[in-house]
Structure formats: C-alpha cells, structure tokens
Structure 1
Amino acid sequence: MPRKSTPREPATETAARPAWLPDFRPGKGARYLQVVAAMEQAVADGGLSPGDRLPPQRQLAELLGVDLTTVTRALAEAKRRHLVEARGALGTFVAAPTVELAQMVDLSMNVPPPPEGLDFDDLLRRGMSQVLMRTDANLLMTYQLGGGSSPDKAAGALWLAPMLGEVAPARLVACPGAQAALAALILALTPPGGTIVTEPLCYPGLRLAAEQLGRAVASVAADDQGMRPDALEAACREHGARVAYLNPTSQNPNARTMPAQRRRDIARVAEQRGIAIIEDDPYWLLTPHAPPPLAHYSPAHVYYIATLSKCLSPGLRTAYLVTPPAADQGAVLAALRSFALMSTPLSTALATQWVHDGTALALLGNIRAECAARLALARGMLGSLGHPPSAGIHMWHLLPSYWTSRELTQAAHAEDLRVTASDAFHAGPNPPNAIRISLGGVKERARLALALKKLADLLARMPRQHREIVV
C-alpha cells in the first residue's frame, strides 16, 4: 500500500541578516577574508560570543550574496584561526578561546598591526614577482655599496615628501633599519666618551647603542609638550653635549606629540648653539595632523630618520636617513659600513618597488585604519583606567596607586600577558608609575580584545599580598 505523503510545512520567511555580517568594500581584501575579519570584530565587540551558532553555510551565502565556495573558504580560515568549531550535524559554533589564551600574548613589541582583510602572502608574492621582473637577480645576490641605489633614494624621497616636502636624493641614505642609522650617527657625530642629551623617557635602543659605543646619555627636563628649550641649553652647557636625540611624534613610550611651537623653539636652540639633532620619527605617517618635523624648521641641523618598520613591516628592514645639506655624509656612510656593509638587497628592492608602485601607500592606509580600530578597542576595554592616544601603535598607561610598574608587569606575565615596565625607558631612579602597551603584535583583533580585557581585570584588582610561611 503506498505510503501516505505528509504535507510540507509552509516556507518560512527569509532569515534576518545577522548584524555582524560585513558590507563588502573594495580594496579591503578578498571577500572570504572580509567575512573572517567581520567575525573577529564581532567576537571582540561582543556581537558574537563563544557557543553562538552560525547560520548554515547556504543561508550565509544567500545573506551575503556570494557563492557557497566563498563561505566555505571563510569558515575554513575562521577555523584555522580558532574562531569557530564544527560540531557535525549540529552546525558551526563560535569557539571558546581557552587554548589560544593559554599562550603568551605579547603586548610589549612595537610593530604595526596586520590590516583587516589583507592577504599578506599574496601581497608578498606579487611584490617579489615585480622585483624579479624589473631587477637582475644577480644584482640582488651580490655586494652593493651602502647608502642605497638611485631608485632606492628616489623611493625614499617620494616616501618622505608628506613630512619634508621635496628632498634631494643626494641627501638620502637607505639604511638597514633605524637602529643601524642611529648607531651610525652616534659614531659619526660624537667623540668617544661624548654625551648625547635626550628626554627622561626615551627609546631604549638609543641608550643601548650609546652604551655599546662608549657614549653617555644625559636627561633633559621635559614637560607635557616635550623637551624644554631652556633645559636643552642648560644640559648642553653642563655636559658639553653637541648632539640631542628626539622622537617628537607619538613619542615612544608616552605617545605624546610635540606641538609645532615647541619644535620651533627647540630648532632655534639648535641653531643658536650649533647642536646636531637626531630626529627619530617612525610614527609621523601614523599620526594624523602631526606638525612638520624638526627637520622642517632647521634642515641644517637635523638628521632625520624615518623607518618603514613601524608603519609598514619590520621585515622590510629599510629606513631612510636625511642628512643636512652641508653635512659630511661620507663620515656617516663610513660609520654605517663599519658594522653594516649594506642593506639587504632583496628587502630594500621590495620596499623600493612598493613605494614606487603605490603598494606601500595603500598598505599604510590600511594600517592606519587598523591602528584606529585597535585604539578604539583599547579605550573600550580599559575604560577610565587608560589614556590611549588618538593614533599610533602603542599607548602609555598610568597605573593606579596600588600597583607599581614592576609588580604589574610581573603579575601580567603570570597571566600570560607581556607588557613593558616604565623603567625600560627611564634612566635613573623614580621612573613613572606606568606601562607601555603595544597594540600591533597580536595578529587577530579578537585575541587582542580578550588580552586587553584580561589586563583591565588585572588592573582593577588589588595586588596579591605575599606572606612568608613560618614553620
């Protein structure tokens, strides 16, 4: 006897579109990567929580207006990033982050964040393909004169135009990173045993290079606008210093930007006293509305360093040094060649290619957007406890009175978080009670959010009291 058919249920209305699904935008990477990035953002913002069930793949494809393959690739990538887990016939669910958080999360290394939706593998493949098409491979695998080729210097001049305007390529030196440029300038501009003056809080790489090269570093009093001009004059008289080091834009570590008038005043002191200024300016392009560099106000006295490591990628190992028009560039090159015969030809060629073809500028725009998103995330996670800047890749966090910088750093390490204590940047006693938090070293924004939440919870509670056990 034929089985009686059961009437089908009437078709349900189209499912509501989840708020976390992306609106695809050109220039933001492949669509499947935009889906993954939206998922990461939703986890960070709380729009998706561990255990939430995602719509079936076909339904997701319909809601997004894409083919099933795009959704399949997106979910595979999300699974690889431990964002989701498949539970057979039950479907796909937002994964719990316990395994990832068991690893150390590094909030101590100042690197630019990977932009949302960027396929860096594809970017590198295309970039290297262009380099090999336009360059003799033999030249990339042999010794080259230090200071960069003509195309390298032309790329440097193009990259520096927003900061300094037109720069003669002859004034440029392409260096294997800012640290190498800094060490070369210390050797070229100061005598053995000489003194470099800088702000009380400064980049640790300066102190390290000076110490290794047998130079002293003396602190110059600063206020909330940066180094004080009167204190600079006094320090130069006291120590006989002829070189000052400054990082005036989104300063490392306190993220402060020196205003234009203070830059003019410092430049005036340099001109009056014949002081050379080393201007280390890695964050200018990440800082909207930054004043012109010190080199703009006193080009005859400022050696300007701009590295690609902090605004594009450390792997490029390329920094541009601009020397004053009348400077002895030969002395700088000789100092540089004494420990770094040349920049790595392959990475420098890639940097040059990217600057000339516009890839570097496009990548910079994406990194700026990612920096802004991460700083907004930090403000949301840390609330009133934090004072994040409006731009850049790090923040300076003043601690509540019940925490010291060293104690908080150690407690964070015990929680699988790595931050940097203030004494790493401060010479002498009584460093500020603060930590530096770097926002670019964590690849996934969702994981960064979880780390910042953990740090905020740690900051909000009192330190544990350590009591001796007496037996």
Structure 2
Amino acid sequence: MEQKLPERLTDGSVNSVRELIRMVEELVADGGLRPGDRLPPVRELATLVGMSPSSVAAAWRSLNEKGLLRGMGRSGTFVVKQTRPSNNIRWRPHFNPGVEAIELSTGFPDRNLLPKIQPRHFKGIDDLSAYSYLDNPVLDNLEKALRGIFEPEFDGFSLTITDGTLDAIDRLLSITTTRGDLVAVEDPGFPAIFDLVEANQGRILAVDTDEHGMTVSSLISALTMGAKVIISQPRAQNPTGASRNDQRMRDIVEAISKYAPQVTVIEDDHSALISGRELNSLAHLLPRQTAYVASFSKSHGPDLRLAAIFGPAELIDELQERRRLGPAWSSRALQRLLANLLLDDEALEQVEDAKHAYQIRRRSIESLLQIPGLTENQRGDGLNIWVPVVNERSAILSLATNGIIVAPGSDFKLTESIQEHIRITLCVSDGMLETIAPLLVSATSYATANWRM
C-alpha cells in the first residue's frame, strides 16, 4: 500500500534534484516517511512534485545509493529502516586498563566452568605435519562426534570447520553477497556481525526483536525491501538472551517462503552446547538455503577457535573451494583436541554442569534485579543478561566506581530506542554475584540527575 505523501513534498517548494534529495532525507529523519513506506512510481511522483521524470529518477538513484530508499522493480520503491551512523568499526571491546576490577563486559565464559583438559585429550596429536594439503578439511573423528551431537537435526547436511563463529559468518557472507546487497540482522544484536556485513560491502537492514528473537512483521519488512541474507541467532541471543520458539520458527519460515523464497539464512548458535533452550533451527524446514553455525568457544574455551557449519552441499563446497586459496583448513591438531573432548564422558558432563550453573546464575540475577515483565518463557538464556536501566552512562559510571565493568547497551543497538540498557556477562562465581548484586540493583536505577562527577 502506497504511503500518502507528506504535503511539504508536493507543495511546489521542491524545484531541483538536490532539493528533492534533501527533502526526502529530512522526511525520513523526522518520521514524515517511515521504514516500509511504498512511494509512487517515478512518473506519478514527477507529476505530484512538479518535476521531470528524469530529475526524480536521478534523485531516487542518489537516495538508493545512500541507503534511504530501495527500488524493488515492479513492487515499487520503499523507505529503508535507518541504522545509526557507523564510525567504521563498531565492535571495540572495552578492555580492562590493568586495574583490579570485576569484569562483566566481555561476553567470555567463566574459565572455571570450562572442561578441564587432561593428557588423554591429546591422544592422536603426535606432530603438526598434516598429512596432505588435499586432505578432507574436517577430521573424521570430529565429524563423527559432531554428527552424533547435532543429528538428526542436520542429517544429510554437509559439514565444514572454520576458525570460530565470526570467521564462519565472514566466509559465508563473502560467497552469498555482493557489493550493496541488503543483509537483515537483529537489532539489538552483536556489533561484530554488523561490522562483518559492512566489511563485505553489504548494507544493513535492522530487524526488531522480542523475547523470541526476530519479529515476523519487521522481518517481512526487510524481506520486501530486498534482503538477500538473514543473520539470526536461534537461541541465547547476544545481547538479549532471547530464544526462538517453535511457533516463531514456523512463522519465520512462512514469511520467507512467501516474500523471499531465495534468501540465504545464516544461523549463529554461538552458545550451542551450553544453551538451556531447545534449538529451533530453520534448517530442517529450509534445508537448501540455511547455514547453521555452532560455536564451541563458550562451552570449551575461546582459545579453541573452532566452529562448525552445517549447510547445503553446494554452499559448503563453494566455501571450501574459496578457502583453499587461503588457510585451506582449520588446525587438525585443534580439531582432534575438540573431537577428543566431545567424545569424552567426563568432559561432556562438565559442559552440562556449566550449562546448569549459568542458568542458576541468570535466575538469581534476574530475581535480584527484579527485571519487569518476565514470565518463565520470557526468561533469557546464555551467558549474558540484557538489563534495562534508567540511564546507561550513569549506570556504567556507578558500577565502574565500585570496580565493576559492564558493557554499554548502545554498543549493540543499530537504531535509537527510548529504553536504555547495559549488558552483564555471567562470568563470575555465584558467591561474587551475591556480593555485587546490591551494586547492580543500585546502578540500574541511577538517573542522570543522581550522578555527580
């Protein structure tokens, strides 16, 4: 349905291409034109504005290049949801500057909950010779272990290994997008993903989220605007902790099938084995276009630097062919170490214990902070808690004064929102959480007026 044009666009005050561009920019900025609004065809608009069709077409090309409008052929031209300006790289972790502090900002797992590596886990790692440059990039034992864990969900899918989740997403974007392609991402979401989209010369479409992940209405808007790729976290979403339920999974599949049946889906299951939620992957319903990425950084340790991709054979084959021009494979020594850990009952039990420990910590903090509106089905999952605060800056400063470092919620947001947040990582002991809980409670209620430098 076409949007009724604002009067100031058709009142005769616009007389040049430059003025038309500036007027549309102002209308988008102040809400006169909203994301998803469909604009009239060029000739019709030229008549309404009082300009030549060629002048309107020139303005539309410029606005399309700026990412304000998106032409969809016969479907029309649409206003694109705007993201906040990027200062090159968004993901700049807030490193502890050497002072003694309680670090809750990194998103790292608690090292005390990682599996304890034993001498037996190095079985088969005799040297670093790598038998041949033409060997299968996935170690047989690791493939056996992974298929034992993730099938039947990904029965029949091809499998490859990369150097972590972000490496996997980067490589998938490099073969599924070209310059200027629109990529739908969650908002709020993980800023490194935003950076990867732009590093691959894609354009970001922000998709709203709720307690079940991407909202269907916002996703449909992105699909109708021409999104070529969707990047979604199926559970333990970073930063919100949201997890997709069965109904949302089916609603998303229905939307994709109706509005963009050729779109590629990249699923980032970064918490995988320590997630307390069921995996509702789109892969078994959209097997020809879904790449599922499972990380082991949170369950087994960030320094392992390994992630698995399950996907359709043609996509995995293309990724591996392209990778042969570079590193060709991920370290088979590290693959063997991971395989040994995944086939070790004691190590698996330690991962299961860690999953339960994180769940207990989350429930404790959510209860202490009295985060409003949480039902059992709405409670988050994973390593991070998305905490609403009165004022983000004041909350961060209040906690920093007491030696507690948290992540600013604004780092994870593409669009402005009224509610401000901080992100807390559950990477300290239960006893420490009890000690700092009162400080967290106090900080969440700090308003600007309460803070004095």
TM score, norm. by length of structure 1: 0.66
Aligned to 1:155: 145
Match of 2:320 among 326, 333, 337: 333
Contact 1:186 1:210 in 2 (8 A): yes
Alpha-carbon deviation of 1:410? 3.2
The answer to whether the aligner puts 1:356 opposite 2:353 as a matched pair is no
Cα RMSD for the two superposed structures: 3.1
Alpha-carbon deviation of 1:305? 0.4
Contact 2:213 2:233 in 1 (8 A): no
Alpha-carbon deviation of 1:143? 6.4
Match of 1:458 among 440, 443, 451: 443
Deviations, residues 395-442 of structure 1 (Å, cap 9, x unaligned):
11111xxx32233223322332111112111113336411111102x3
Contact 1:157 1:172 in 2 (8 A): no
Aligned to 1:295: 283
Counterpart of 1:451, as a letter, is: I
Aligned to 2:207: 220
- TM-aligned CA distance change 1:269 to 1:171, over 3 Å: same
Aligned to 2:103: 106
- TM-aligned CA distance change 1:315 to 1:338, over 3 Å: same
* Alpha-carbon separation, structure 1, partners of 2:115 and 2:184: 43
Contact 2:125 2:333 in 1 (8 A): no
Contact 2:236 2:380 in 1 (8 A): no
SS of 2:299 mapped into structure 1: coil
Aligned to 2:245: 259
The answer to whether the aligner puts 1:309 opposite 2:307 as a matched pair is no
* Alpha-carbon separation, structure 2, partners of 1:124 and 1:431: 49
- TM-aligned CA distance change 1:340 to 1:429, over 3 Å: farther
Identity %: 21
The answer to whether the aligner puts 1:368 opposite 2:355 as a matched pair is yes
* Alpha-carbon separation, structure 2, partners of 1:216 and 1:192: 8
Runs of at least 5 residues in structure 1 that lack an aligned partner in the other structure: 1-101
The answer to whether the aligner puts 1:277 opposite 2:272 as a matched pair is no
Runs of at least 5 residues in structure 2 that lack an aligned partner in the other structure: 1-98
Alpha-carbon deviation of 1:284? 4.3
Alpha-carbon deviation of 1:243? 0.6
- TM-aligned CA distance change 1:335 to 1:374, over 3 Å: farther
Alpha-carbon deviation of 1:260? 0.7
Contact 1:114 1:370 in 2 (8 A): no
Aligned to 2:185: 198
Match of 2:434 among 445, 449, 456: 449
Aligned to 2:387: 397
- TM-aligned CA distance change 1:337 to 1:307, over 3 Å: farther
Counterpart of 1:321, as a letter, is: I
Number of residues of Structure 1 aligned to a counterpart in Structure 2: 351
Greater shift in the superposed pair: 347-356 or 148-157 = 148-157
* Alpha-carbon separation, structure 2, partners of 1:460 and 1:222: 24
Alpha-carbon deviation of 1:179? 0.7
* Alpha-carbon separation, structure 1, partners of 2:180 and 2:405: 35
Counterpart of 1:214, as a letter, is: Q
- TM-aligned CA distance change 1:184 to 1:119, over 3 Å: closer
Greater shift in the superposed pair: 216-225 or 419-428 = 216-225
Alpha-carbon deviation of 1:249? 0.9
Counterpart of 1:282, as a letter, is: H
- TM-aligned CA distance change 1:295 to 1:344, over 3 Å: same
Contact 1:202 1:426 in 2 (8 A): yes
Contact 2:181 2:203 in 1 (8 A): yes
Counterpart of 2:388, as a letter, is: L
Aligned to 2:121: 127
Contact 1:184 1:333 in 2 (8 A): no
Counterpart of 1:178, as a letter, is: T
Larger Rg: 1
Aligned to 1:242: 228
The answer to whether the aligner puts 1:320 opposite 2:308 as a matched pair is yes
Greater shift in the superposed pair: 184-193 or 410-419 = 410-419
